[in-house]
Structures are given as structure tokens and as C-alpha cells.
Homo-oligomer: A and B are copies of this chain.
Amino acid sequence: MDIQDLTRQLHTQNASKIVMLVADGLGGLPRTPDGQTELETARTPHLDQLATRGVQGASIPVLPGITPGSGPGHLGLFGYDPLKYVIGRGALEATGVGFQLQPGDVAVRCNFCTIDRAGKITDRRAGRIASHESAPLAISLRQVSISGIELFVEPVKEHRFVVVFRGDALQGDVADTDPQATGVPPLDPIPLNPASARTAEVAGEFLAQAHHLLAGQTKANFLTMRGFAGKPDLPSYRDVYGLRAAAIAVYPMYKGLARLVGMDIVGQAATLDDQVALLEQHWADYDFFFVHFKYTDSTGEDGNFEAKVKRIEELDAVLPRIAALQPQVLIVTGDHSTPSWLQSHSWHPVPTLLVSDCCRPDPCRRLTERDCIHGGLGQFEAKYLMALALANAGRLGKYGA
């Protein structure tokens, strides 16, 4: 019995609203052992005020020491055990470009490459071909025609693009064709079990036609395929939590992840202000709102400490508008840490704040990496956060009599 088996069984209904504000990559590191992190450096008067009313803790995205990608990071926050539910690479890539996978689809992450006359790979990433050159090539592959198959090809970035096969009897278990080496030909798409034979055949046909379509191209004249994956089978927010849930995000990846757990994507937002406006606008329509703020992660990945500090302050500035809506539960967290010092996602626990009328406030006065380890939520695996949200919203019944 896991936490979602419990919430599925115990959830109840009321008029409460829950807001989960996810500052992507929120956690950071100091630049020297006695220095301050990005969060500690930022001026965050509104967050500080919430911190005095709320309870905080350090969220472990997956398990100690494990750095998550965006997929497992968000699944954890959404309460889906990221070790139990895995989003295949192809499915995640499709999700990231806003493609809405349907059950039975198979998505494949593809890389343009170059091959010589003997068919041997000379560059596995086609010299990291520029996006404006690779996109038309990807789109040209939409000419491929395979009987009984509906085909989608979506450019991603540089050498990367996504192919989705839609048709009968498809499934993801097909071997990658990238040999992970140059000087050898790409591998054949081999079915890894009998049920994926048709998918492997379709992939083979796609590769054969793509070979002709790309022949003569100088920048990229072939492709490899990786991470064949179907739509992950995730129970919905309504099912496991009884929540009508809305996602308010700018980037397709986070909209896509939210859609996979049954959230509605509301409106189009380009800025954080747009996002808060959408929140206000749809306040009556949903019980739960996932609001995703990207730039704490991207500035961290850029290694730009000061910019990350500014982005945290930008987030702080909109908190009064969110608080004015008087959600029963307001959560501020991140899907993982992205210390600008490391310029990448990391394994460090994420400062997490939960504010409600019935949380048990702790002595912490600011939400920071240093404070959260003394917080009332302790260190906890992210997958428990949704149960805490429901409990604080009065939406979880008693377990056992």
C-alpha cells in the first residue's frame, strides 16, 4: 500500500483551494562553505512572511543522492512515486514539445547524424546542427508514408527531433538504433519482445524512407532512434486525490507533464504576471492549481547566481496576489535543486513551504536551505507532499476507525 493507495481511499470533497507554486530548480548552494545560497541572498519579504505562518521542510525529489530530470522531479511533487512511474525518453521528449500522446502511440527521440557512403556514422549529432537548419529537415520527414500508420514528426532543438507512430499493435519495447560510436553503421530497430515486432517493422520502414529523403543533404543525412516509449499510464488527479486540477505553465514540458496526470491546461501565459492572472481568472473552476516558474532553474543552469537571486525576488513579488486569493493551502517548492555553482540539476533537498490554517508552524522565519532542515516537515520524500496538501486542506479522511 503506498501513499496514493491511501489518498485514493481517503480523499473527501470540500470547497478548499490548493496552490502548488513550483519554482523549478529552487534549491541552491553557497559559493563558499560559509557563504549564502541564492535563496538566502534574495530579498523575499513576502515569502518570509509566509514562512512565519507556515511549516517548512527539505524535500528529497527521488532518494538521497539522486538527481532527477524534470519528469521524475515533477512526478514526485505530484505525488507519483518516481521509481514506480517512469516516463520513457521518447514520451518525455514528445511531451516537452507539446505533443499530446494518446494511448497506443509510440514516441521516439531521434537524433540527426551524418553517415558516409558505406553507411557508417561520421557524426552522431550531425555537428549539433543549428535548429533553423534541422527543423526543415525534420519537417521534410513528414513525407514518409507507412500503411496503417499515422505519423508525426516534430522538431526539437539542434540535432534532436521526435517521431510519433500511431496505429494498431504498437508498443515501446524496441532497441535503440544509436550504436553510441562513430565508424559503424546505425543499428537496426530490434523488437525487445514479440509484442513490439510491428513497431520495429514500422521504425525500419521509417528509416528506409528517411534515408532516401535525406540523401544528398550535407548537414545531416540520416538519423538514429532512441527511447521508444508509449504514453505512460498514470492515474489521474481526480482519481487519486479527487481534485479538479489546473496547470498554469509557460513551457510545453510542464504543461505536458501536468496533462499526463489529468490536469487541465488553462490559458496561454508568457510571463509570471500572466500566470497569476490566469490563476485569478480560473479560481472558481478548480480545486488545485499547479503554477510552474521556470527561470529559477534556467538561471541556475546558466551558472548565473545573481540572475537566479533576481528571479527568486520576481517570484516573491507575486506572492501577495496569490495570497490574496486566500487558498486554504499554499505550497512553495521546487522539483529539484539547480545550484548555479553546479550549473545543473542536483540531488540536494529542496526548501519547501506549506502554509495553511492548520499546519503546525515551526520556528523558521525564512524559507532557505539552512532553515528548512530544521522545519516541521523535516526531510521528506517529495511524493508525500500531495498527501500533506490534502490533509491541510481538510480533504483526507481518517485511516482506519
A: residues with CB less than 8 A from B are: 1, 3, 6, 10, 29-30, 33-34, 37, 52-53, 58, 62-73, 82-84, 86-87, 89, 92-93, 339, 341-342, 344-349, 358, 360-363, 369-370, 373-380, 384, 386-392, 396-401
18 extra interface residue pairs, beta carbon distance < 8 Å, beyond A30-B360, A64-B388: A3-B65, A3-B66, A6-B63, A6-B66, A6-B83, A30-B361, A64-B387, A65-B389, A65-B391, A65-B392, A66-B387, A68-B400, A70-B400, A341-B358, A360-B369, A373-B375, A373-B378, A379-B380
Please name the 3 residue pairs, one residue from A and one from B, whose CB atoms are nearest each other, closest first. Answer: A65-B387, A378-B379, A64-B384
- Is the pair B34, A361 in contact by a Cβ cutoff of 8 Å? yes
Q: Can you name 12 A-B residue pairings with CB atoms under 8 Å?
A: A1-B83, A3-B66, A29-B358, A64-B384, A67-B396, A67-B398, A92-B400, A346-B391, A347-B388, A348-B360, A369-B376, A373-B375
Determine if A398 and B345 form an interchain contact, defined as CB atoms under 8 angstroms apart: yes
- Docked complex Cα distance between A58 and B348 (Å): 17
Copies of this protein, total: 2
* CA of A321 to CA of B196, assembled, Å: 58
Across the interface, do A400 and B6 meet the contact criterion of CB distance under 8 Å? no
Pick the contact of A70 from B63, B363, B379, B401 — CB < 8 Å? B401
**A82 with B374: CB separation less than 8 A:** no
Q: Are B67 and A391 in touch, CB under 8 angstroms?
A: yes
A349: B residues at CB distance < 8 A:
376, 378
Contact: B373 with A92, CB < 8 Å? Answer: no
**Which of A66, A378, A379, A389 has the largest count of B CB atoms less than 10 A from its CB?**
A66
Contacts of A84 in B (CB 8 A): 1
With a CB–CB cut-off of 8 A, which chain B residues contact A386? Answer: 65
Residue numbers in B under 8 Å from A87 (CB-CB):
400
Q: Which residue of B lies closest to A7 (CB)?
A: B65
- State in angstroms the CA–CA spacing of A30 and B358 once bound together: 9
**Which of B387, B389, B401 lies in contact with A93, CB distance below 8 A?**
B401
Q: Which residues of B contact A348 (CB under 8 A)?
A: 360
The reply to whether B358 and A342 contact each other, CB–CB distance below 8 Å, is yes
Cβ of A384 and Cβ of B63 under 8 Å apart? yes
User: Do A69 and B401 touch across chains, with their CB atoms under 8 A apart?
Assistant: yes
Q: How far is the CB of A48 from chain B (nearest CB, A)?
A: 13
Asked if residues A33 and B65 are in contact (CB atoms below 8 Å), the reply is no
Q: CA separation between A278 and B166, bound complex, in Å? A: 61
Bound complex: CA A396 to CA B342 (Å): 13
